[in-house]
Amino acid sequence: MGATGKLARQDRLRAITLLSPAYLWLTVAVFLPLSAMVCFSFLSDVPFGGREWHLTLANYGAFFQTTTYAKLFWKSLELGFIVTLLCVVIGFPCALVLAKTIRGRAREALFLLVILPFWSNSLVRIFSWAILLRGNGVLDLAVNAVLPFDVRVNLMFSKTAIVIGLVHSYLPYVILTAYLALQAIDDSLIEAARSLGAKKHTILWRIILPLSVPGLTAGAVLVFVPVVGSFMEPRILGGRVGTYYGTVIEDQFVAVFNWPLGAALSFILLAVVLLILALASPVLKRVQT
Amino acid sequence: MNARLWTFAGRAYLAVILVFLYAPILVMAVMSFNASEFYQLPFRFSTQWYQALAGNGEILAASWRSVWIAALVSVIATALGSAASIALYRYAFYGKTILRLLLFPPIAIPWLITGTAMLIFFFGIGLDRGTPSVIIGHVALALPYVIIVVSARLTSFDHTLEEAARSLGASPWQVTRAVIIPWIAPGIIAGALFAFAVSFDQFVVSYFLSEPGDATLPVLIYTAIRKGFTPEINAISTIIIVFSMGIMLLVARFFAFGGKR
């Protein structure tokens, strides 16, 4: 008994030695800052440089007193819904084709090709759309070269441009999660349904879709959350119409320097994000591989 | 509809998606070799914008800064992350589930929130903006990815190997060093490359944490874009995208993204 007790203690010591550097780092760089942000959101002014400050609810009051911030928040949520919906609708068939009709090395290569852009620089990819979409840009010239009549294609600085850029950014995410879910579906299940006389759409609606719901939910959450908090994409592709909740938070920190208000706005966003993650967590747990 | 037609439609759809994903990047790359400053056609081949880059001290300095920060972040995150993964795998202890769950906030919370929170905290403790803050932030963002990638590799570890080593008299440390680490080496390499890419491509957190004087490359590009587009940005962007896609291809060599091998 004494020997095993000692062994367990040694094991515990080893585990702590191996784990603590990583988790201490996460604590200092993520968890303490998030807590600090929450505290900060209740201050009247920054507590540095000898400024006067006191505890206040005014920063949250600002969100609720005028409709400005609530409207922007809604605008960002709406953007999140549109982009997520488009990503799911466009991405699912793509994952289905990849997972169920293509085999072997070709599938591996195509899958890699689809998700490769996702892991490359997002800022640069947004910038590349700016070159494509601007008036007198490449898309404009291409369309006019094909059509006999003159049209002006200038999608730049519009909501359409922002949506296109964001869908382009996050589409691979949905394809990835949907593909993983589809790959886990046993082919013999589909075979069985077919041999029992099920039609193609019956198989799709009754077997494939229900079984890929966890994967699709994971993908949807992973798209929705960052899109609601996006600011770089609306700034570059939206120009003057690109004022969203995220850009307002950015402004508080880099332009207006009202950090307590920025912290409060950030925290409201964080609360909504955590709520969404909590709601989706039963489904998300099922896809953890 | 017959099966042949369905297959064809499927392939065509996949092709359209790939065009959508790659067309803007290709257009950007092609335009970076266009002589016209205003992206005008007809296309005339020129490498002048790349030559201009070579003379742009600001961009060169930012590129170098981005690369060495990413290398340092990769080393730190891989060391800490691999150690943590081994502990999470080897030892049974209370609270493991919570430790695993704690990996998700840095990934799942929008970087805008994490970045601004870091800015507030680092400023508050007197660390201020600047490269040290950027490095601390990047390591925290890269750590969960390293742990997830290395842990995924560890789950495929064959227990009988460990038992064999133990029965031959190996100590726990010897087992770790001579059996487990060689087995997870591909995972560690993939994790290190992943961490490098996370840091090198990171924009949002760097944006809030870096000082105007010593910005990383993505931050510099963002500032430049907001002033107006120039072919020089095209050129450096093309280099970045080729570079970061190259790294991810290397990662894929060591780590299948959940796909079966």
Give the predicted TM-score (pTM) of the model: 0.90
For chain A, domain boundaries: 67-287
Answer whether B136 sits within 8 Å of A29, measured CB to CB: yes
Nearest to A93 among B13, B88, B233 (CB): B13
Answer whether B108 sits within 8 Å of A47, measured CB to CB: no
Predicted confidence (pLDDT) per residue in A82-115, tens digit: 999 999 999 999 999 999 888 888 888 898 899 8
Average model confidence (pLDDT) across chain A: 87
Answer whether A37 sits within 8 Å of B113, measured CB to CB: yes
Q: Enter the tokens of residue A270.
A: 């964080």
Answer whether B221 sits within 8 Å of A29, measured CB to CB: no
Of B198, B218, B193, B200, the closest CA to residue B208 belongs to B218
A34–chain B nearest CA distance, Å: 5
Architecture of domain A67-287: Orthogonal Bundle (1.10)
Which DSSP string do the residues of chain A spell out, in sequence order?
Answer: -HHHHHHHHHHHHHHHHHHHHHHHHHIIIIIHHHHHHHHHTTBSS-SSTT----B-SHHHHHHHHSSHHHHHHHHHHHHHHHHHHHHHHHHHHHHHHHHHH--HHHHHHHHHHHHTGGGS-HHHHHHHHHHHHSTTSHHHHHHHHHSSS------SSSHHHHHHHHHHHHHHHHHHHHHHHHHTS-HHHHHHHHHTT--HHHHIIIIIHHHHHHHHHHHHHHHHHHHHT--HHIIIIIGGG---HHHHHHHHHHTS--HHHHHHHHHHHHHHHHHHHHHHHHHHHHH--
Q: Enter the tokens of residue B160.
A: 């009988």
- Phi and psi at A31, nearest 5°, equal -75, -45
3-state SS class at B229: coil
B120 contacts in chain A (CB < 8 Å): 33, 36-37, 40, 259, 263
> Which residue stretches of chain B are H helix?
3-31, 48-54, 57-90, 96-101, 104-108, 111-124, 131-155, 159-167, 172-175, 181-201, 204-209, 217-227, 231-254
**Alpha-carbon separation of residue A285 from A218, A272, A278, A282, B168 (angstroms):** 9, 20, 11, 5, 39
For chain B, domain boundaries: 57-254
B41 contacts in chain A (CB < 8 Å): 141
Beta bridge partners of A43: A55
Picking from B31, B33, B78, B80 by the largest number of A CB atoms within 10 A of its own CB, the best residue to mutate is B80
pLDDT band for position B261 (cuts 50, 70, 90) = very low
Architecture of domain B57-254: Orthogonal Bundle (1.10)
Task: Count other C-beta atoms under 10 Å from residue A226's C-beta.
Answer: 25
Predicted confidence (pLDDT) per residue in B68-89, tens digit: 999 999 999 999 999 999 999 8
Nearest to A123 among B17, B120, B203 (CB): B203
Read off the pLDDT of each residue in B182-197 and give the average, rounded to a whole number: 91
**Residue B43 to residue B178: CA distance in whole angstroms:** 58
Burial of A247 (0-12, 13-18, 19+ CB in 10 A): buried
Residues 6+ apart with CB under 8 A from A216: A88, A92, A174, A177, A178, A181
A124–chain B nearest CA distance, Å: 6
Answer whether B117 sits within 8 Å of A37, measured CB to CB: yes
Picking from A129, A131, A237 by the largest number of B CB atoms within 10 A of its own CB, the best residue to mutate is A131
Nearest to B24 among A18, A102, A129 (CB): A129
A188–chain B nearest CA distance, Å: 18
Q: Enter the tokens of residue B75.
A: 């080393």
**Residue A261 to residue A259: CA distance in whole angstroms:** 5
Question: What pLDDT score was predicted for residue A171?
Answer: 95
Answer whether B244 sits within 8 Å of A29, measured CB to CB: no
Question: What pLDDT score was predicted for residue B260?
Answer: 43
pLDDT band for position B259 (cuts 50, 70, 90) = very low
Nearest to A262 among B14, B25, B116 (CB): B116
B260 contacts in chain A (CB < 8 Å): 183
pLDDT band for position A12 (cuts 50, 70, 90) = confident
A202–chain B nearest CA distance, Å: 15
**Residue A31 to residue A41: CA distance in whole angstroms:** 16
Of A193, A185, A191, A190, the closest CA to residue A213 belongs to A185
pLDDT beyond 70 at B1: no
